Structure 1
Amino acid sequence: MTNTTISSEVLNLQLASRLIFSYAILIFIAFGTIGNLLNIFVFIRIKVLRQMPNSVFLLTSFVASLMQIWTTRFSTAFLNLTGVDLLKQSRFYCEIRWLFGRMGATITMACICLVSINRFLITSPNVRYRQIFTMRCARMTVIVVILVFLIPLIPDVVYYWTPSCTRTGAPYCIVPFPVLVLFGILTWRNLCSVRIIQRNRLEEQVNRMILSELVMICITSIPNIITAIYPIVTSSMTKSQLRVAQDGLWLNMLAIPSITTYCTSFYVFYAASSAYRKNVQTALNCTKHNRIETQTRSRQQNASLRMRIIALH
């Protein structure tokens, strides 16, 4: 190949890499925003769901996921498609991106880990384990988690600004993969080995939803591991410009599944659980739901009134 041909191919690979990554990210942001908002609405709207301790962890993860995809992913896709770097244009957006972007990612992963731990405890044959996470305990745990991840990042609001809006410190994140695998296996073992504990249909459906979510996260974590290891393994290699462009294309394509953790929980829950599908339909049909509650309340009041009249006679 001539130098001109190689340079043209390098430019084409770089352009394809940016376009594929950016459009895929925008699609995931759109679906993720809709899905997370629907999850929040359903878990708040349906009483039986919001009364579970797991709902505290899940609602926190939904909100944190929205923070992560809009503060971190959107600016990258916008830069690749338009050439406008929002982080350099606004100091406020730069600080928000590195503060809430990192915090959103870590809180999402931490809450999903807490969900997997709670599922293991709830399916345990030990009664004391099943009673560890109450609603109060779950709320306190979430507050502690938020403070743990927020306090070290507070200085970023004041000092986190350079003309290029680059990181001034090391990334602040956790690796949930071993925790999810461990407690996912332990939960599955509890479900398979313990048959004497009577669980209602809701608990069984929630177990199915959470296990499906854990499997999805574990599968989509594999490309992340590859993209983290590959640059380290090949760091000593001398690469041509064409090889660098080819690596960039494949690494960007492998990076796309990483955003699914923050975007696909609603669709996984909806596909895995028939009870959740019914809850979604109930929550979305607000008028009918309110009318049924009103009619039920009216019948109860009428029945109570008739009992009082009978008592007076």
Structure 2
Amino acid sequence: MTLFQDAQQLSLYGGIVLLVFGIIGNGINILVFTKVRIYRINPCTFYFLMGSIDNLFYVCLNLPIRILIDFFQIDVIGSSDIWCKIRNFLLIAPSLISITFSCLATIDQFFVTSKINFLRNCSQIKWAHRVSIIVIIFWCVYCIHIFFVAHIVPSTNVCTSDNPSYLVYSAVYLLAIICGIPVSIMTLFGILTYRNIRQTIRPAELHYDRQLIRMTLIHVALVAVSLIPFGINNAYSLITAGTVKNLNRQMIEYLVSTITTLGTYLYYVGSCYTFLLTSNRFRQQVKKEIIYWHRKNIIGPA
């Protein structure tokens, strides 16, 4: 089996596994964060809720299309300029929205654990609602340019852009906006949150939730593991773009690109499972809600 076929098989089976686990995991997050009052009124978990809704949409839309293109060689994008533009918009805007919500959740935990009263007061559910609306509107407006630059290039019949300026932007987008900046922000505020906890003499006075902080910090690790390899691989591709490569090297790079791209979906899929690992309260709530729905459908004699 060639490396190209290996990459195709990986796209199929890895994509199906990620799709199933993504639907289940994000569905559990949405169920728990909307049903449990202590999570519903907390700004941090509200950001996780919004991120889970966005992740569910992203996974359900993009993974099936990727499987169709990579494995079945069905080009569902190249048939229409309009669909090409919409597809690119729905690929970029939701990813930016989701990553921003993860950054906001980490920043919120820094506010909650701060000894400065003004910063602690910044963590309020009403502000979380307003900031979330602003984030969604901002990134949707920001991505409108895609409708003007993305199209099916006649010479290659590929949905992309032949604008040189946009190609430079794509490199900046992949390396900085998607990978570098979010990972840096979440790492920085994760470290600051940990420092706040270490410096607090009487934690009870700050009323912060240690389990929620663990959930947030492990989420930072999930983002780093998912996105950093993708960023490194894209940096390598940009550096070696002018290098003449033989067929074997191209196939190896294609396989690595497939692995790192699928790896980014771990971010959109894995939050529920990291929460289950780090929070006993979250595990109990998941068990309670699942048992509740199971019992609700039981029909028995009166």
TM-score norm. by structure 1 comes to: 0.81
Alignment of 1:267 onto 2:267: no
- Which residue identity does 1:132 align to in structure 2? C
Alignment of 1:100 onto 2:90: yes
What is the CA–CA distance in structure 2 between the aligned matches of 1:73 and 1:184, rounded to whole Å?
Answer: 30
What is the CA–CA distance in structure 2 between the aligned matches of 1:199 and 1:42, rounded to whole Å?
Answer: 27
Please state how far the C-alpha of 1:222 moved relative to its aligned partner.
2.4
Counting only pairs closer than 5 Å after superposition, residues 154-165 of structure 1 correspond to structure 2 as 154=144, 156=146, 161-162=151-152, 164=157
Counting only pairs closer than 5 Å after superposition, residues 18-57 of structure 1 correspond to structure 2 as 18-57=8-47
- Which residue identity does 1:227 align to in structure 2? N
Task: Identify the match of residue 229 of structure 1 among 209, 229, 235.
Answer: 235
Please state how far the C-alpha of 1:66 moved relative to its aligned partner.
1.7
What is the CA–CA distance in structure 2 between the aligned matches of 1:144 and 1:95, rounded to whole Å?
Answer: 23
- Which residue identity does 1:54 align to in structure 2? C
Counting only pairs closer than 5 Å after superposition, residues 67-106 of structure 1 correspond to structure 2 as 67-89=57-79, 93-106=83-96
What is the CA–CA distance in structure 1 between the aligned matches of 2:151 and 2:200, rounded to whole Å?
Answer: 54
Alpha carbons of structure 1 residues 284 and 192: separation in structure 2 relative to 1, 3 Å: same
Per-residue Cα deviation, 1:163-214 (whole angstroms, up to 9, x for no partner): 7462345446443011011011111111122131306998111111111111
What is the CA–CA distance in structure 2 between the aligned matches of 1:123 and 1:160, rounded to whole Å?
Answer: 44
Number of residue equivalences: 280
Please state how far the C-alpha of 1:73 moved relative to its aligned partner.
2.9
What is the CA–CA distance in structure 1 between the aligned matches of 2:63 and 2:265, rounded to whole Å?
Answer: 8
SS at match of 2:22: helix
Alignment of 1:217 onto 2:223: yes
Alpha carbons of structure 1 residues 43 and 90: separation in structure 2 relative to 1, 3 Å: farther
Which structure's CA Rg is the greater one?
1
Which shows bigger deviation, 91-100 or 75-84? 91-100
Per-residue Cα deviation, 1:270-293 (whole angstroms, up to 9, x for no partner): 111111101112222336999xxx
Task: Identify the match of residue 195 of structure 1 among 201, 208, 214.
Answer: 201
Task: Identify the match of residue 160 of structure 2 among 157, 167, 185.
Answer: 167
SS at match of 1:77: helix
Per-residue Cα deviation, 1:15-59 (whole angstroms, up to 9, x for no partner): 112221332122111101110011001100111110111132111
What is the CA–CA distance in structure 2 between the aligned matches of 1:45 and 1:280, rounded to whole Å?
Answer: 10
- Which residue identity does 1:277 align to in structure 2? R
What is the CA–CA distance in structure 2 between the aligned matches of 1:110 and 1:136, rounded to whole Å?
Answer: 18
Structure 2 residues without counterparts, runs of 5 or longer: 297-302
What is the CA–CA distance in structure 1 between the aligned matches of 2:294 and 2:208, rounded to whole Å?
Answer: 22
Structure 1 residues without counterparts, runs of 5 or longer: 1-8, 291-313
Alpha carbons 2:54, 2:94 under 8 Å: kept: yes
SS at match of 1:162: strand
Which shows bigger deviation, 105-114 or 218-227? 218-227
Partner of 1:305: none
Please state how far the C-alpha of 1:97 moved relative to its aligned partner.
2.1
Please state how far the C-alpha of 1:131 moved relative to its aligned partner.
1.1
Q: What's the RMSD between the two structures over aligned residues? A: 2.6
Alpha carbons of structure 1 residues 103 and 199: separation in structure 2 relative to 1, 3 Å: farther
Alignment of 1:109 onto 2:102: no
Counting only pairs closer than 5 Å after superposition, residues 126-205 of structure 1 correspond to structure 2 as 126-154=116-144, 156=146, 161-162=151-152, 164=157, 166-168=159-161, 169=166, 170-171=169-170, 173-174=177-178, 175-198=181-204, 203-205=209-211
TM-score norm. by structure 2 comes to: 0.83
Please state how far the C-alpha of 1:160 moved relative to its aligned partner.
5.3
Please state how far the C-alpha of 1:231 moved relative to its aligned partner.
1.4
Partner of 1:298: none
Alignment of 1:241 onto 2:231: no
Please state how far the C-alpha of 1:89 moved relative to its aligned partner.
4.5
What is the CA–CA distance in structure 2 between the aligned matches of 1:273 and 1:176, rounded to whole Å?
Answer: 24
Counting only pairs closer than 5 Å after superposition, residues 247-258 of structure 1 correspond to structure 2 as 247-258=253-264
Alpha carbons of structure 1 residues 23 and 288: separation in structure 2 relative to 1, 3 Å: closer
Partner of 2:299: none
- Which residue identity does 1:206 align to in structure 2? L
Please state how far the C-alpha of 1:85 moved relative to its aligned partner.
1.5
SS at match of 1:176: helix
SS at match of 2:78: helix
